[in-house]
């Protein structure tokens, strides 16, 4: 049966009609298939890829080519979910022309339905230029990992009234720029609730409390696959690192003890063929 693909209007309608929007990252074909089969609305090919898949210390070093490579793999595995691919650091801040050209590549070559970029008021014109070029944009304000160093590290943002008002203005600027939704990362829940009430586009929270119009998490955090650092806002729904390590160790031991492969994993040969073979081999 043909599955109906989720569209941007489907996502924006959910602000009024609910239920809350579910979003999760995926970076390759098998996991994208599973996330899609679970019925998650938005798959984000996040540049968190750099940390949880490629082993970098942050997201700044992630390149356009890496984002394209993983976005393509995800697109091959998805039938229903909306695919949003992150614009990596340096791909949208030099000029509008370059930003549009890179966003276009993520859609045309990477199979993305929309792109996401980090930044508030200062990035509003770039977001507007990409939207005008016909590409849906998701904004991302609050803790923006690509500029975490300037923000003082991976810290909650907008804790005092002045900083909170700046984030409120940032989110509004992204709406005015034409973004179809905005990610609110690591900000106090009451601030996220006020922003959500004010905006007419859906807010997608990560560490922003329960009042956002949707939630997003990094899949490797949710599944317990990334153990270098787990933020406070992550709920681990499984411990796949531990399970995987147990399975890998059992495999290693079974190989060493010749318990794998067993007969059911091996191919037999007709007795008479074997006899002929042995004859031919002179054994
Ligand atoms: O890159 C990413 O995974 C993200 C989410 C944390 C929102 O931007």
Q: What is the pLDDT of residues 103-159, one digit of tens each?
A: 999 999 999 999 999 999 999 999 999 999 999 999 999 999 999 888 878 899 999
Which of the residues are catalytic? 185
Ligand 1 pocket check for 124: Cβ under 6 Å: no
Residue 119 Cα to ligand 1 midpoint, Å, equals 13
Residue 117 Cα to ligand 1 midpoint, Å, equals 10
- In eight-state DSSP terms, residue 259 is -
Statement: residue 1 has pLDDT above 80: no
Smallest CA separation from ligand 1 atom 8, residue: 46
Q: Best of 141, 216, 222 to mutate for ligand 1, by most ligand atoms within 8 A of CB?
A: 216
Write the CA distances from 210 to 138, 191, 207, integer angstroms: 19, 11, 9
Residue 230, pLDDT score: 86
For 22, the token pair is 């579910």
Residue 206, pLDDT score: 98
For 226, the token pair is 């990334």
Q: Best of 31, 45, 47, 207 to mutate for ligand 1, by most ligand atoms within 8 A of CB?
A: 47
Residue 234, pLDDT score: 96
Which ligand 1 atom is nearest residue 183's CA? 7
Q: What percent of the chain has pLDDT over 90?
A: 94
Residue 274 Cα to ligand 1 midpoint, Å, equals 58
Which ligand 1 atom is nearest residue 47's CA? 1
Contacts of 51 (CB under 8 A, 6+ apart): 57, 58, 59, 226, 228
Report the mean per-residue pLDDT for the chain. Answer: 97
Ligand 1 pocket check for 206: Cβ under 6 Å: yes
pLDDT tens-place string over residues 97-106: 999 999 999 9
pLDDT band of residue 192 (cuts 50, 70, 90) is: very high
Write the CA distances from 66 to 101, 119, 145, integer angstroms: 16, 21, 17
Residue 38 Cα to ligand 1 midpoint, Å, equals 19
Residue 152, pLDDT score: 79
State pTM to two decimals. 0.96
Smallest CA separation from ligand 1 atom 1, residue: 46
């Amino acid at each position: 049966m043909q599955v109906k693909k989720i569209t941007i209007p489907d996502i924006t309608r959910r602000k009024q009609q609910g239920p809350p929007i579910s979003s999760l990252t995926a970076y390759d074909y098998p996991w994208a298939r599973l996330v899609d089969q679970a019925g998650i609305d938005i798959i984000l090919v996040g540049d968190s890829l750099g940390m949880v898949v490629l082993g970098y210390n942050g997201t700044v070093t992630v390149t356009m080519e890496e984002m394209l490579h993983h976005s393509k793999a995800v697109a091959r595995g998805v039938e229903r979910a909306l695919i949003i691919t992150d614009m990596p650091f340096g791909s949208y801040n030099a000029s509008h022309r370059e930003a549009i050209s890179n966003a276009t590549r993520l859609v045309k070559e990477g199979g993305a339905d929309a792109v996401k970029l980090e930044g508030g008021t200062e990035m509003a014109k770039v977001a507007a230029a990409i939207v005008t070029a016909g590409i849906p944009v998701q904004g991302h304000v609050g803790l923006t990992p690509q500029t975490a160093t300037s923000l003082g590290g991976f810290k909650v943002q907008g804790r005092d009234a002045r900083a909170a008002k700046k984030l409120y203005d940032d989110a509004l600027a992204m709406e005015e720029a034409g973004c179809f939704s905005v990610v609110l990362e690591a900000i106090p829940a009451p601030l996220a609730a006020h922003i959500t009430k004010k905006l007419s586009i859906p807010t997608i929270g990560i560490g922003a409390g329960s009042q956002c119009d949707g939630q997003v998490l990094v899949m490797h955090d949710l599944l317990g696959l990334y153990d270098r650092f787990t933020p406070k806002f992550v709920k681990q729904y499984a411990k796949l690192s531990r399970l995987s390590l147990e399975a890998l160790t059992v495999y290693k031991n079974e190989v060493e003890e010749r318990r794998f492969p067993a007969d059911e994993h091996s191919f037999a040969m007709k007795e008479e063929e074997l006899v002929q073979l042995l004859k031919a081999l002179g054994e």
